[in-house]
Amino acid sequence: MDQAELTMEQVLKRDIPWETYMTTKLITGTCLQLLRRYDNRSESYRAALLDDDGPAYVRVFINILRDIFKEETVEYVLALIDELLTANPKHATLFHDKSLADEDIYEPFLRHRNHPFLMLLKLEKTKSNFLWLHFTYDEIKHILLLWKGNWFIQEKSCKILAVVVSARTKSKDGMIANGEESCSKNKLTTIDDVLNGLVEWLCAQLKKRSHPTHGIPTAISCLATLLKEPIVRSSFVKADGVKLLIPLISPASTQQSIQLLYETCLSIWLLSYYEPAVECIATSRTLARLVEVVKGSTKEKVVRVIILTLKNLLSKGTFGAQMVDLGLPQIVQSLKVQAWSDEDLLEALNQLEEGMKDNIKKLSSFDKYKQEILLGHLDWSPMHKDPIFWRENISNFEDNDFQILRVLITILETSSDLKALAVACYDLSQFIHYHPAGRIIVTDLKAKERVMKLMNHENVEVTKNALLCIQRLFLGAKYASFLQA
């Protein structure tokens, strides 16, 4: 059977030879007793056992994952742990009981490529039989649960780790695995090791998923849980993880895709509280995608998390101006008249609307124009044809070595948006008209060749404004004014 398609039900139906493991001293007699008491029992009976002596069962499960490498057994124990956490998420606190302070509860899940056991694999190449008398290749390759197991093992390991680590009592230094002080002389896995290891695996899944349909949803679900941790936010940003989320922010229709979209947006919301992540968001298409999704979404939880994200970003950098340029004020007005049951969403919509109004008041007309050009969202807004705007702001076009003009010229060369091409040609003609040295500057920036290519464009509006620009460039505004009619 394809291991990627294994189900919990199939795994839990297995009959594991615990007595054989005791005979070979892989488990103790006490472990065998506890397993006989717990295995193949009803959910209510197991719940009672966990209430009575939960940490003892956790110790048994962790020891098995550490000492037994047989794939079927590893899958079975992971299924048992996943089952008890799903039945009652509070059971995750059992892993952090004081009686387990000397037990490295994370290490079996996080054994990595450089783990000492992995060195055994190299012996195969030298054809050494030393140690291979006890372990087969198939057994040893599965000790790397999170990284090298089959999909069932990877998925359960990730899910269990995310739930267990989130349930710990937060310590100031985060150095002890169980969140408790320990007298152990053995070096335990630190919380930093756990969280960094998880982030590495999650990013790897987003880049190249281990399972064609479940890889990315599993990674995003765990990420949305873990991004509450400051170190996870830091590691994720350092791994350039924000850009891996952007393609997942797109309109969704099926239940599965809606959940993926929601958890992706939830991740962005959590990242919006972390300044380095905000900088990554600012230099990407994240904002435009969020606005696109919220414009057409009817799923309340998706709309809520996006609006809360936008509210967080509103006061940072140029986000406010970009939101206005993307038409968010009109979208918010439309959302406000819909019948939402969530009062927090309605309050957030009102706050976002008021925030954007304040932002609009603070923006000068040239600020608005500059944002429109830099974002490439050119439209026939009144500024473009307003003589007062051009007379009052013509000197601003000289800023940053004529940055705005250079962007307009780039739009002429790269954009496929017909309206953007027409507006860009018109604005260049306006600059030539109102700036004393406009013709010389535009010529020096090599705009003439790009505009001339558009004179034969199939779109009438583009052709008209390209001709106007060329006329003003060669003849001056006085002789070209007739073309504006």
Looking at residue 134, its pLDDT comes to 44
Virtual CA dihedral for 99, 103, 108, 111, nearest 10 degrees?
150
Span 226-250, mean pLDDT? 95
Class of CATH domain 242-362: mainly alpha
Q: How far apart are CA 41 and CA 262, in angstroms?
A: 36
Lowest pLDDT segment from 12-21, 220-229, 319-328, 460-469: 319-328
Positive or negative, the CA dihedral 189, 225, 85, 99 is positive
Q: Which two tokens stand for residue 117?
A: 């056991």
Span 264-280, mean pLDDT? 96
Closest CA to 418 of 459, 450, 470, 454: 459
Question: Are residues 16 and 64 in contact, defined by beta-carbon separation less than 8 angstroms?
Answer: no
Question: Are residues 166 and 221 in contact, defined by beta-carbon separation less than 8 angstroms?
Answer: no
Looking at residue 457, its pLDDT comes to 94
**Mean pLDDT taken over the chain:** 85
Q: How far apart are CA 234 and CA 246, in angstroms?
A: 18
61, pLDDT greater than 50: yes
Indicate the pLDDT class of residue 149, thresholds 50, 70 and 90. low
Closest CA to 106 of 57, 179, 5: 179
Q: What is the CATH number of domain 366-481?
A: 1.25.40.150
Judged on CB neighbours under 10 Å (0-12, 13-18, 19+), 43 is exposed
119, pLDDT greater than 80: no
CB-CB neighbours of 450 under 10 Å: 21
Which residues make Cβ contacts (< 8 Å) with residue 347, sequence separation at least 6?
Answer: none
DSSP 454: G
Name the residue type at position 426. Y
Q: Which two tokens stand for residue 381?
A: 């807004």
Q: Which two tokens stand for residue 278?
A: 């905000």
Q: Which two tokens stand for residue 213?
A: 């349909």
Q: How far apart are CA 341 and CA 413, in angstroms?
A: 48
Question: Are residues 196 and 231 in contact, defined by beta-carbon separation less than 8 angstroms?
Answer: yes
Looking at residue 476, its pLDDT comes to 58
Work out the end-to-end distance of the chain between its first and last CA atoms, rounded to an integer number of angstroms. Answer: 74
Q: Which two tokens stand for residue 231?
A: 């170190």
The percent of residues above 70 in pLDDT, for the chain, comes to: 85
Q: How far apart are CA 52 and CA 94, in angstroms?
A: 11
Q: How far apart are CA 276 and CA 284, in angstroms?
A: 13
Question: What SS3 class is residue 81?
Answer: helix
Indicate the pLDDT class of residue 289, thresholds 50, 70 and 90. very high
Q: How far apart are CA 5 and CA 253, in angstroms?
A: 24
Question: Are residues 483 and 470 in contact, defined by beta-carbon separation less than 8 angstroms?
Answer: no
DSSP 24: T
Give the domain ranges of the chain.
242-362, 366-481
Residue listed under structure tokens 């939830």: 266
In angstroms, how far is CA 397 from the centroid of its own chain? 37
Closest CA to 115 of 182, 197, 185, 176: 197
Q: How far apart are CA 189 and CA 457, in angstroms?
A: 65
- Please indicate, yes or no, whether the overall pTM of this predicted structure exceeds 0.75: no
Q: Which two tokens stand for residue 52?
A: 């009575």
Q: How far apart are CA 413 and CA 447, in angstroms?
A: 10
Looking at residue 215, its pLDDT comes to 93
Question: What SS3 class is residue 16?
Answer: coil
Q: What count of residues does the chain have?
A: 485
Looking at residue 152, its pLDDT comes to 92
Span 220-246, mean pLDDT? 95
Q: How far apart are CA 182 and CA 283, in angstroms?
A: 44
